[in-house]
Amino acid sequence: MLALILAFLIGAVAGSRTLIAPAAVSWAAYAGWLDLSGSWLFFLGHPVSPWVFTAMAVVELIVDTLPTTPSRKLPFPFASRIAGGAIAGSAIGADAGFWIGGLVAGGIGAVAGTLVGYTARMRMAAAFGRDRPAALLEDAVALAAAVLIVAAA
């Protein structure tokens, strides 16, 4: 049960920042915190994977602050967040022996994280009077949450 909750939560992180969640589970698999060796997600534990996911996550963080970045609620960004959440959730579920439950929980968490994160970001941006502080705060929360979630998995 805890694994499903953590899978949902890591999915919510992906709803906020698409690639932070897969990067976090990749680092956890590489470090041996998650055992994915017998699952289809074994590639997340490869020594190159965490670096690749981290590089992509950093690019995402930079691109997110640009004014031309499209809304996360458009079809492609939304689907990407669901995929990232589902993969990350599946990794947490696989470590507990049920990757399908983790996949579903992570996908649902990504939908919730996308919608709640969008609303929170818009309210913070309105309160700050500009978007950048809201974006940076959302980045920090997503990163801290991802670390805490994979540490608890």
DSSP string, 13-35: HHHHSTTHHHHHHHHHHHHTSS-
Contact between residue 16 and residue 134 where contact means Cβ atoms under 8 Å apart: no
pTM here is: 0.93
In whole angstroms, what is the distance from residue 1 CA to residue 102 CA? 10
From residue 120, alpha-carbon distances to 15, 77, 90, 99, 126 in Å are 12, 17, 26, 30, 10
Residues 65-86 have pLDDT tens digits of: 888 888 899 999 999 999 999 9
Residue 120 C-alpha from the chain's centroid: 17
User: Which tens digits make up the pLDDT trace of 22-68?
Assistant: 999 999 999 999 999 888 999 999 999 999 999 999 999 999 888 88
